Amino acid sequence: MSAIKAPRGVRDILPDESWKWAFVLNTTMEIAGNYGYSEIHLPVFEHTELFSRGIGETTDVVEKEMYTFTDRGGRSLTLRPEATASMVRAYLQNKMQNGIQPAKLWCAGPMFRYERPQKGRYRQFWQIDFEALGTSSPMVDVEVISIALDLFNSLGLSNLDVVINSVGCPACRPQYREKLKNYFQNRFNDLCHTCQSRLDRNPLRILDCKNENCREITEEAPDIYSSLCGECKDHFDMVLKGLSSLGIHYQMDKRLVRGLDYYTKTAFEILSGELGAQNAVCGGGRYDNLSEAIGGPDLPGVGFAAGLERIVLIMEQQNCNLGEEPHIDVYVIAAEKDVDVEVMSLVSDLRTAGIKADMDFMCRGMKAQFKSALNKSASHVCIVGGDELSRGVVTVKNLGRSEQSEIARPEVVSFIKQNI
């Protein structure tokens, strides 16, 4: 029997990658602080209803992609496929409407979707999520888009495209749906099977179908702009004005509808040419009806989610600075057997002084220990042996300069502190 492996579409983030994640998350925390967003930790599972009602019954996420299970108490629970619905639930449940508005919150963590795994698409993946709840000001839409761009710029990402659209609201979208339905009805036989079934249920989703035939058909499809109600039109104009005033370039794309039903007015994505088929590094928009869909009061909101795996993928491809790879300052080498206690005690003294120190725990020879020191990028090694011990000294070697000296044991820590 072979050892059990992780399920398909699930990755281990190993130490050679995890430090890059930490860099991205630390940068996110800094940017969040600059914009007045506070971190929130949300549960990984919620009542299934939160997502089926919030995201929408006819969306791909709810229809095909949720990890839903019944717990031992007979409740239907779902591993969160995204964070926005949970964020709104947390706002309502914790009565954040009584605090300063808008509530500006961010979180990061794993999301779960039963999708076909491929490069940049996993079944467990991390999202960085920013949400501003409690205001319908178009300027907060602008703020949210500029946070995403500020984050990506701070991480050194280049060649990004901001794509934006308005998906209207319940007052004007039905009229647009009808226009679209009529248009697609005339091309029904050319649509893929999925889009044929979408025609009655969710014709807007045909607009972002990846099938080539459908894409061709959608090129000529009516756009939403002439159908927007006055409020949605004004809102969209203000968002575009705000973006321009910040020098943010954008492309309007009438086919950008996003996969989730809750979007109203602004919908946007930030795309990277580096990612191939899964080219969205971040997606978001306004969702003024989400709260009501999950049984809450009228609560406008806007936000975005960015995929952490995709950010790191782009950063690697674009050779961005990913911060400092973890290293050790000093590796303490045992020159012979039976000096483990002395080695451990020196390692401990170094660590207490804030110096990154490590040692061998495998009783290996000196050559192997030197190799470990180099692998861990140590700048110095300390060699502890019987002869040195009897004389009360330790050999300290600067690996970069190949210099070595004997230092009295009580002076070793301060000597190294001065030299690293």
Selected binder of ligand AMP within 306, 328, 334, 339 (CB under 6 A): 306
Q: How many CB atoms lie within 10 A of CB 169?
A: 19
* Residue (113 or 265) nearer to ligand AMP, CB: 113
- What residues form DSSP beta bridges with 103? 133
Alpha helices (runs of H) in 300-384, residue ranges in sequence order = 308-317, 340-352, 366-375
Q: By CB under 6 A, name the one of 131, 288, 309, 388 that touches ligand AMP.
A: 309
Q: How far is the CB of 175 from ligand AMP (least distance, A)?
A: 26
C-beta nearest to ligand AMP: residue: 307
Cβ at position 288, least distance to ligand AMP in Å: 17
Task: Report which secondary-structure segment, H or E, holds 391.
Answer: helix 386-391
Burial string for 201-234 (b: 16+ CB within 10 Å, else e) reads ebbbbbbbbeeeebeebbeebebbeebbeeebbe
Residue 226 phi, psi dihedral angles, 5° rounding: -75, -15
User: Interface with ligand AMP includes 305 (CB under 6 A)?
Assistant: yes
Instruction: Name the token pair of 146.
Output: 């500029």
The answer to whether residues 265 and 172 touch, using CB atoms and an 8 Å cutoff, is: no
Q: Minimum Å distance from CB 215 to ligand AMP?
A: 19
Q: Which of 52, 54, 62, 82: binder of ligand AMP (CB under 6 A)?
A: 82
Q: Report d(CA 329, CA 373) in Å as an integer.
A: 9
The answer to the question of residue 109 lying near ligand AMP (CB under 6 A) is no
Between 121 and 356, name the residue whose CB sits nearer to ligand AMP.
121
Residue matched to tokens 């050790």: 328
- In the complex, minimum distance from the CB of residue 307 to ligand AMP, in angstroms, rounded to a whole number: 2
Shortest distance in whole angstroms from residue 243 CB to ligand AMP: 19
Q: Which residues pair with 47 in a beta bridge?
A: 77
* Residue of 47, 121, 179, 187 that binds ligand AMP (CB under 6 A): 121
Among 17, 49, 60, 115, binds ligand AMP (CB under 6 A): 115
Q: Pattern 182-221, binding to ligand AMP, x per CB under 6 A?
A: ----------------------------------------
Helix (H, G, I), strand (E, B) or coil at 187: coil
Dihedral of CA atoms 379, 383, 389, 394 in degrees, nearest 10, equals: -30
How far is the first Cα of the chain from the last one, in angstroms, to the nearest whole number?
50
| Minimum CB distance to ligand AMP, residue 129 (Å) | 9
- Cβ proximity to ligand AMP: between 28 and 395 the closer is 28
Among 109, 156, 259, 323, binds ligand AMP (CB under 6 A): 259
Binding ligand AMP (rule: CB under 6 A), the pick from 281, 332, 384, 413 is 281
Instruction: Tell me how far, at minimum, the Cβ of 259 lies from ligand AMP, in Å.
Output: 6
Share of the chain residues as helix, strand and coil, in percent rounded to the nearest 5? 45, 20, 35
Shortest Å, Cβ 345 to ligand AMP: 47
Stretch that binds ligand AMP, among 38-46, 138-146, 306-314, 361-369 (CB under 6 A): 306-314
> Which residues in 137-157 are b (16+ Cβ under 10 Å) and which e?
bbebbbbbbbbbbbbbeebeb
Question: Do the bridges between strand 330-334 and strand 357-359 make them parallel or antiparallel, or are there none, so unpaired?
Answer: parallel
Give residues in contact with ligand AMP (CB under 6 A): 82, 113, 115, 120-122, 125, 127, 259, 280-283, 305-307, 309-310
